[in-house]
Amino acid sequence: MYDKMFPPKQIVLPSGKVVYQKRTRLPLIAVIVIAAVYYSVELTDFNLHKLVTRIGEFFVLIDAMIPPDWSSWHKMSTALLDTLQMSLLGSLLGSLLAVPFAIAASSNIVRSRIVVALFKTILSLLRTLPTLVTALIATFVFGLGPMAGVVAITLFTISYVGKLLYEQIENADMGPFEAMESLGMTRIQAFRNAVVPQVLPGYLSTSIFCFEGNVRYASILGLVGAGGIGLLIKEDIGWRDYPGVGMIILALVVTVYLIETVSEHIRKKLI
């Protein structure tokens, strides 16, 4: 339709041939983006004047966090370990449970199209729910504490690892699988010996990567009462104990950086 309103430019080449250059879509895109920005500004009360005058407060807060309160280390370290424990267990359970889901959602392994569509929908619905909402629901069912956090992280991990795993299974080379079936292996044996070796490194690498992200998620789950360091952050900010917050943030940054480095090293070895 856009081409009808603004007909393409004709260019006559030296050889006498006529070619068309489509008009640029830039003005249309620019108008859409500007309109979207305008309405977003209206809806969010975005006010540059207020922002410029008040943004200093943010740096005052950061200033108050330096130097961190080293003495709160003891109180914080147990919460930090809880957070790590939650994310490790959640990632482990989640990546194990993701396997059956992923197999049931791969169209080259399961023949029934209804089953495949059903499991793909389940995985994408699980992925849509924000982790914090899942955690909140889990606190109602499993009570306050790390258990709710574990459940929330498990569910998120299933959806994330599950999706990447079924994509890998679907992209796997099915030649060996067919060859093994033709030799008289059962489908399960053929899957074990032909598909698993192809997807295993990728699966392990995704699981470890997911664990890395889960540590970050786990650190905020405490805000809804699902255990870990989040509760401490909320309390410290509520009581304006900013050096304490600084200590927590410092510890988180160091921990996440360490885990990231180790996981990057392992993942490089895997692939």
Partner 1 sequence: MMTTVERQLLTSPRKIWYRLAITFIAIILIGWSVGAVSFKDVNQSGFQIAFNIVKGIVHPDLDLLFNVSKQSVPYLLVQTLAIAFLGTIVGGILSVPLAFLAASNVVPRPVAWLTRLLLIVIRTIPELVYGLMFIKVATGPLAGVLTIGIVSIGMLAKLYVDAIEELDVKVLESMTSIGCTTFEKIRYGIMPQLLSVFLSVTIYRFDMNMREASILGLVGAGGIGAPLIFAMNSYKWDQAGSILIGLVILILLIELVSNKMRARLVKG
Identify which of residues 37 and 179 has a Cβ nearer to partner 1 in the complex. Answer: 37
Minimum distance of partner 1 from residue 189's CB (angstroms): 22
Residue numbers at the binding site for partner 1 (CB under 8 A) = 36-37, 39-41, 43-47, 50-51, 54-55, 57-58, 61, 82, 85-86, 88-89, 92, 124-125, 128-130, 132-133, 136-137, 140-147, 149-150, 216, 219-220, 223-224, 227, 230, 233-234, 237, 245, 249, 252-253, 256-257
CB of 138 to partner 1, least distance (A): 10
| Nearer to partner 1 (CB atom), residue 161 or residue 245 | 245
Q: How far is the CB of 142 from partner 1 (least distance, A)?
A: 6
**Closer of 103 and 147 to partner 1 (Cβ):** 147
Cβ proximity to partner 1, 169 vs 252, nearer residue: 252
Least distance in Å: CB of 154 to partner 1?
11
Q: How far is the CB of 157 from partner 1 (least distance, A)?
A: 13
3-state secondary structure string across the chain = CHHHHCCCEEEECCCCCEEEECCCCHHHHHHHHHHHHHHHHHHHCCCHHHHHHHHHHHHHHHHHHCCCCHHHHHHHHHHHHHHHHHHHHHHHHHHHHHHHHHHHCCCCCCCCHHHHHHHHHHHHHHHHCCHHHHHHHHHHHHCCCHHHHHHHHHHHHHHHHHHHHHHHHHHCCCHHHHHHHHCCCCHHHHHHHHHHHHHHHHHHHHHHHHHHHHHHHHHHHHHHCCCCCHHHHHHHHHCCCHHHHHHHHHHHHHHHHHHHHHHHHHHHHHC
Q: Are 101 and 124 in contact (CB under 8 A)?
A: no
Rounded least distance, CB 119 to partner 1, Å: 16
By beta-carbon proximity to partner 1, the closer residue of 106 and 219 is: 219
- Sign of the CA dihedral with 153 first, then 155, 156, and 161 last: positive
5 vs 42 by CB, closer to partner 1: 42
